[in-house]
Amino acid sequence: MTSAPWATRELGLGLRHCESYPPADKWHISTLLEPGLRRNPRRGHLLVSTVLGKHLPTDPHRVIEAGNRLGDRVRDLVDGPVIVLGFAETATGLGHCVAARIQAECYLHSTRRVVPTAETLTRFEEGHSHATSHMLQPMPAEIFRNELPMVLVDDEISTGATALDAIRALHAFTPRPHYVLASLVDMRTEADRAAFDAGARELGVRIDTVCLASGETLLPTDLVESVAALPDPELNPSAAVRGRTARIELPWPETVPEGGRHGILHTEVEEFETALSSTAVVLRQELDSLPWGTGNGADRSAAEREFAQRPVVVLGHEEFMYLPLRLAGVLADGGVPTRYQTTTRSPAYVLDEPGYPLRRGFRFTAPESGEESPRYLYNAHWPEPYAPDPIILVIADEPADTDRMTAVGGLLDVLTAAGADVVLAVLRGADPRRLASVRAAVRGSSSSSNLGASRALLLPSALRGPEFGSYAPDEVAWLLKDLSAADLEADVVDRERRIQAGTAHYAESLPVEYQPDAAYRELFDKVLAESAQRLALAVATVAELVVAERGRDIVLVSLARAGTPIGLLMRRWLRTRGIDVPHYAVSIVRDRGIDAVALDYLAQQHDPASIVFVDGWTGKGAITRELSEALDAYHRAGGARFNDELVVLADPGSCVRTYGTRDDFLIASACLNSTVSGLVSRTVLNDALIGQRDFHGAKFYRELAGADVSGRLVDEVSSCFDTVRPWVAGRVAEIQQSDRTPTWVGWASVEKVREAYGISSVNFVKPGVGETTRVLLRRLPWRVLVRDADAPEHAHIRMLAATRGVPVEVVPDLAYACMGLIKDVNQ
């Protein structure tokens, strides 16, 4: 009968098995974990993994197999492109194994090492760990900032609180629709699981968990005190004869990531495997050449050959786990008895007692410059009895290759003092700056019309508030380039003259942001209060029409920026119905088309058939036609096929089939500029600022935060949803039963006005309340036409016209409530 583990016998620390991934006997809690101890006021126990290769010397094939099986479990849940994040320090190698198994688009592990040549994208904290702060350092940031499902890999889930905290932090930074938490063991109680599920609901995202086995840790209430009362552990054993040392330099290409600290892309895996094979050949040759190494050469004496047939314990250093693991696997495949483990930052309780997993321990000086806390290593011996003493092969990356490694108190010093023969193999990995440069070059040379999944990761990242725009990060992802630092505002008269002369395009610059006076702001408040319910009904109507005709699995893509408040409101309405959809904002420019790089991004992240383009209103229908033509051109160039049907809140020009109303009424979001649109400017397409693989650009006017009413508008309209809900079904049915065929009556009306007023181009005639407002806020207006002199829907327009000295003329048979005419500077 097998004796109970020491910590169970003496302190009552037990492990209970619940469920396993088949075969159950291979992935049983008792075969995956051994109970250990630590002196930590937050947590007195340590679950020592038998398959992780951290505390125990482990067969490298067993470690890789565990990662592969965990990857298989992940793939059962996620079928498609994913990214994988491994938690430092214990799961950096395990996460890499999972990523390799499922062919992840990108693998990144968190890090606690400060790398001066790398940029830290974000940080998050871990509760119970000895070292709590995690940094993410992908190079460049774009390889990780995307909206693919994320698989988070850790060695264990104890309560789930740490993982949930990490997901909260990551989701606030880069929201994603789906997370998978993968671990070797899941030790949560029912209460822990309930709290975890509640946290997922609070975030409003799907979080799945997978493991090889689940169980429960049976914790005595006084465990922390009991561990503290144990005798101080005896570390750094000494032997009568000090061991020997040798040094090996291992080759590695500077443009191939040696691990996941700065990310490794699926497209780089082949290069990694090639570099691994070359490095393994050099390693074996160097080991065989040692007089006390692993070889059995014919030129050696019989005594030397007998001594040379020694096993090897491969040591990775802290987070540097995966490459040493793979090299250990190659040595084992070559006939060298090999085990694998790594050093750690975390102190644990060492006790040389049968049935206790941490029989021997070492404390040593951190080799990295500037690090003051000691590091630890456990066991570091051959696990089977009667075997020759193993060679300890320490595989370290360049930052760990300092004098501190070999100085008194360093890792090599404490190991050789214990009698071990130690080989230090140093690998100079990739320079993160070089990685970023190479990846950026790949991104720049790729064509937008032939986009593979891995290449799409090198597209620009979506922008979110509060870093860009004042909307909350989960409300909208802006597929735009941040041009906030650029000087783009031009004098209105000069700008208009250059646009009309054909020497500049309107999208190459920005008008100065008009800031209304107190009277106009008061009028906006009145308009919003009076129209919020009407807006809410139109939002709900158009959202329900979209779901009825396109289904629930849709992605809203608003045309920045007039469409963005409407897309945001549609998303809010659908969430009240239990339908959670992504929302993006993209740029479309008259005569230049829609942003093709943004389309590349959308095609990679989502099914193109699910994309629904949203705008605020139609005028004469120019953008409706521009969208259709641009999407056709994108498809002809080799891009995906998108549905070109434009969805709008208001369609007074009868240009689309799907709308909330065809009334030409005042939409409050048309009354102002950026201060009602998330503090984001209209979009910019300027070759001097926008590269071939950039999104179109825009500015974030942070300095206008005091005047921002973007949130108030969407909150006030959303607050009317319950009021209008009883009317929505009837309104939807009414539109569905009507003839919705676009008549383009707006375009005909514009032509009539153009002829009547001798205007040279239809581009100088802007029909409808929204477009007329834009003329007064952005352009050089000539006059305003209104159908009714005192209609409330254009009270703000009359006020703006008076402020700017623009005449208002009553035209009773006008097809729209009003029209804005732009001044022809050449007449």
Instruction: Domains for the chain: give ranges and CATH numbers.
Output: 52-217 (3.40.50.2020), 245-427 (3.40.50), 459-487+515-736 (no CATH), 745-822 (3.30.1330.30)
Residue type, 55: H
> How crowded is residue 810: how many other Cβ atoms within 10 Å of its Cβ?
11
Question: Mind listing the pLDDT tens digit for each residue in 697-747?
Answer: 999 999 999 999 999 999 999 999 999 999 999 999 999 999 999 988 878
pLDDT value at residue 305: 45
Residue 269 has pLDDT above 50, yes or no: yes
Residue 297 has pLDDT above 50, yes or no: no
Question: Mind listing the pLDDT tens digit for each residue in 623-669?
Answer: 899 999 999 988 887 788 999 999 999 998 888 999 999 988 777 77
pLDDT value at residue 127: 53
Is residue 826 very low, low, confident or very high in pLDDT (cuts 50, 70, 90)?
low
Q: For residue 414, give both structure tokens.
A: 């404490």
Residue 460 has pLDDT above 90, yes or no: no
| H or E element that contains 213 | strand 206-218
Residue 193, SS3 per DSSP: helix
The pLDDT > 70 percentage for the chain reads 93
Question: Mind listing the pLDDT tens digit for each residue in 679-700?
Answer: 999 899 988 888 877 899 999 9
Determine the straight-line distance between the first and last CA of the chain, rounded to whole angstroms.
Answer: 103
> How crowded is residue 575: how many other Cβ atoms within 10 Å of its Cβ?
14
Is residue 776 very low, low, confident or very high in pLDDT (cuts 50, 70, 90)?
confident
Q: Which pairing describes strands 697-698 and 391-397: parallel, antiparallel, or unpaired?
A: unpaired
> How crowded is residue 318: how many other Cβ atoms within 10 Å of its Cβ?
27
Give the separation between CA 788 and CA 653, rounded to whole angstroms. Answer: 18
Residue 468 has pLDDT above 50, yes or no: yes
Is residue 451 very low, low, confident or very high in pLDDT (cuts 50, 70, 90)?
very low
111 forms bridges with which residues in the sheet?
135
Q: Higher model confidence: residue 196 or residue 302?
A: 196
Average pLDDT over residues 447-452: 35
Cα 659 to chain centroid, rounded: 33
Residue 536, SS3 per DSSP: helix
Give the separation between CA 701 and CA 674, rounded to whole angstroms. Answer: 8
pLDDT value at residue 768: 82
Question: Mind listing the pLDDT tens digit for each residue in 635-644?
Answer: 887 788 999 9
| Radius of gyration of the chain, Cα coordinates, nearest whole angstrom | 33
Q: For residue 512, give both structure tokens.
A: 């100065």
Closest CA to 615 of 634, 604, 628: 628
Contacts for 13 with CB less than 8 Å, ≥ 6 apart: 5, 7, 35, 37, 45, 217, 218, 219, 220, 223
Q: Do residues 571 and 558 touch, judged by C-beta distance below 8 A?
A: no
| H or E element that contains 36 | strand 33-37
Q: Do residues 541 and 660 touch, judged by C-beta distance below 8 A?
A: yes
Closest CA to 661 of 617, 713, 717: 617
Residue 1 has pLDDT above 90, yes or no: no
Closest CA to 593 of 625, 561, 638, 616: 625
Residue type, 45: H
Closest CA to 139 of 427, 423, 538, 432: 432
Give the separation between CA 21 and CA 4, rounded to whole angstroms. Answer: 24
pLDDT value at residue 260: 93
pLDDT value at residue 306: 40
Angle between helices 322-333 and 92-102 (to 10 degrees): 70
Question: Mind listing the pLDDT tens digit for each residue in 93-141?
Answer: 999 999 999 999 999 999 988 887 777 777 777 654 444 578 888 888 7
Q: For residue 382, give both structure tokens.
A: 């051959």
Q: Do residues 46 and 38 touch, judged by C-beta distance below 8 A?
A: yes
Average pLDDT over residues 742-759: 85
217 forms bridges with which residues in the sheet?
15
Give the separation between CA 615 and CA 561, rounded to whole angstroms. Answer: 8
Average pLDDT over residues 772-799: 85
> What letters, b where the CB count within 10 A reaches 16 and e where it falls short, cover 92-109?
bbbbbbbbbbbebbbbbb
Closest CA to 380 of 358, 396, 402: 358
Residue 685, SS3 per DSSP: coil
Q: Residue 254 to residues 250, 430, 444, 766: CA-CA distances in angstroms?
A: 12, 4, 20, 57
Q: Residue 763 to residues 318, 656, 751, 772: CA-CA distances in angstroms?
A: 64, 20, 10, 12
Q: Which pairing describes strands 178-186 and 611-617: parallel, antiparallel, or unpaired?
A: unpaired
Average pLDDT over residues 244-273: 91
Q: For residue 483, give both structure tokens.
A: 């041009």
Closest CA to 108 of 141, 80, 75: 141
Question: Mind listing the pLDDT tens digit for each residue in 324-375?
Answer: 999 999 999 999 999 999 999 999 999 999 999 999 999 999 999 888 899 9
Residue 400, SS3 per DSSP: helix
> How crowded is residue 162: how many other Cβ atoms within 10 Å of its Cβ?
20
Q: Do residues 432 and 115 touch, judged by C-beta distance below 8 A?
A: yes
Average pLDDT over residues 451-471: 70
Residue 393 has pLDDT above 90, yes or no: yes
The pLDDT > 90 percentage for the chain reads 57
Most confident by average pLDDT, 461-470, 522-531, 759-768: 461-470
Residue 767 has pLDDT above 90, yes or no: no
154 forms bridges with which residues in the sheet?
183
Q: Residue 65 to residues 61, 457, 679: CA-CA distances in angstroms?
A: 6, 28, 51
Q: What DSSP assignment string belongs to 435-495?
A: HHHHHHHHHHHS-TTS--HHHHTTSPPPB-TTTSSSS-TTT-EE-SEE-TTS--EE-HHHH
Q: How many residues does the chain have?
A: 827
Q: Do residues 339 and 58 touch, judged by C-beta distance below 8 A?
A: yes
Residue 17, SS3 per DSSP: strand
Give the separation between CA 430 and CA 252, rounded to whole angstroms. Answer: 8
pLDDT value at residue 446: 42
Question: Mind listing the pLDDT tens digit for each residue in 475-515?
Answer: 999 999 999 988 888 776 777 677 776 677 778 888 887 67
Give the separation between CA 99 and CA 65, rounded to whole angstroms. Answer: 13
Q: Do residues 574 and 601 touch, judged by C-beta distance below 8 A?
A: no
Q: Do residues 88 and 134 touch, judged by C-beta distance below 8 A?
A: yes
